[in-house]
Amino acid sequence: MSVQALLDVLDRAHTGPVCSVKDWDTKVIPGKVSEKLSEHGLKGTCTPENPINTEDSLADEFWHAGFELAVDVGMLCLDTERVIKFTEEELNEAIRNAPSEVILGEGLDKVLMKARKPEDKTTPLYCAPIGIEASEDLWIPLIQGIAQHRVIDMIQGCSLKTVLGRQLRSGTPYETLAGRVQAQMHREALWRAGRPGMCATSVITSPTVYGQLGGYGVPGGYRTSDLALVLSPAELKTSYVSLHKVIHAINCGGSIFAGSSSVIGGYAGPVEGSTVAMVACALLQIAVHQSGWGSCSVIDMRYNGNCGRDAQWAISVAFQGISRNSRLLTQSVLNQVGGPCTDMLLYESAVGMMNLSASGISFSIGPRSAGGRYADYISPLECKFCAEVLKSSAGMKRSEVSELAKLLIPKYEDKLRNPPKGKSFTECFDLKTLRPTKEWLDIYLKVKNELIDLGVPLE
């Protein structure tokens, strides 16, 4: 991570071409994305009937279109309304200089993350859970319950609902305090789980910069061996909030994990447009935010998730394209909408995890149980299930995953817009033993056995 590279980014955020947010959203992004789709013959290439791509040439074409989009448009800084642009050589250099493997965590909990290719037998890593809001009194047992599963490699944690009993408001001193408080709770949970050295992506309770300033790299806070989390509000946009987080991580000697999501139906338009934008977004996270990972996800605005056919197709194409054409570490998030203690959540997870694994992802963070909509609607069991499927799928052929997806997606696709809420952590787990209720365990075993019968190499 280079201070000089960061200074270049900051300078460009002040001197780059002027562009209003409105023009960016309504003209620059849709116009340039459409242009790239036309130039590369990619319009109308999505095949919902085959939701996992198996064509290398198509993935490669999306990679080329995404790379060109990244060079042509760059990333808009919302605070200065100027565009941070890179030449083709600069972007190539940033990609070349990014790591292909990295050791994360400390002591016995260290893990090795490697760049992968589609159908790679190298095992991807899983980080759980994504920042669903959780009550303060449940936070430690919930994270402990997740970390106790050795199949899970890293911890992100949940967003705190309150801090020391007070309402936690974005951008206020409560948020600064929450950064430190969450770090302490995180350590306690990992210690209780017997995995004190697990790497964290932190600070998830930092909607503005204050949580990060209060909790990352400070005494008693998250360690600099943990990854500093920098999330942007939309693909191809950054802000001073994100850049402050980057600089704070560099100041502390830490490493950065940056990402964002494209929206199907949003600024980049149709599913093919979002796919191109995903590739560009992943590459620019490395150049703009000094991220060690090419990270991006996608959301389908019709149901605010990404386990339907179009979104799964977009994920498969984007990450096959990136992993086939670079040696980057990559990450993406699965956004399930079914809630804990429902088979829908597990079917969504199975499709998504197999897809990510077969499409060459290095690691995934999740799950977003119940769409992340409800506080405490997350449990350790679906985290374990996701990790199991992600890892066991390493080496599966995309054609096999595609056939399985065609069998599994019909089990839930008609419920994506009105999914079952399921049960909260306290309703589907015993907090004393940190074990699932019989009902939830039975659902898990039923779906797992079904997948085994279908040929998924789960243990």
Contact positions vs other proteins (CB under 8 A): 21, 25-27, 29-30, 78, 133, 159, 161, 167-172, 175, 205, 207-208, 233-234, 239, 241, 263, 265-267, 269-270, 273, 301-304, 371-375, 417-418
d(Cα 89, Cα 35) in Å, to the nearest integer? 22
CB of 226 to other proteins, least distance (A): 21
List helix spans (H) across 168-257. Answer: 173-193, 210-215, 240-252
26/399 with CB nearer other proteins: 26
Q: Which residue, 206 or 357, has its beta carbon nearer to other proteins? A: 206
Phi–psi pair at 237, nearest 5 degrees: -130, 145
Is residue 440 within 8 Å of 390, Cβ to Cβ? no
What value, to the nearest 5°, has the Cα angle with vertex 399 and ends 407 and 389?
A: 65
Sign of CA pseudo-dihedral 95, 97, 99, 105: negative
Tokens representing residue 48 in the block = 């919902």
Q: Which is nearer to other proteins, 4 or 167 (CB)?
A: 167
Element (H, E) at 267: none
Are β-strands 429-430 and 435-436 bridged in parallel, bridged antiparallel, or unpaired?
antiparallel
**Nearest C-alpha neighbor of 429 from the set 380, 374, 375:** 380
Closest distance to other proteins from the beta carbon of 265 (Å):
5
- CB within 8 A of 99, min separation 6: which ones? 292, 329
Nearer to other proteins, 231 or 447 (CB): 231
Any alpha helices (H) in 373-433, and if so which ranges? 380-392, 398-408, 425-428
Residue count (the chain): 459
Q: Shortest Cβ distance from residue 267 to other proteins (Å)?
A: 5
* Nearest distance, CB of residue 30 and other proteins, angstroms: 4
**Contact indicator for 340, 102 with CB cutoff of 8 Å:** no
User: Among 376, 319, 367, which residue's Cα sits nearest to residue 136?
Assistant: 376
Shorter beta-carbon distance to other proteins: residue 300 or 343? 300
Which residue, 298 or 443, is less far from other proteins as judged by CB? 298
CB-nearer residue toward other proteins: 271 or 447: 271
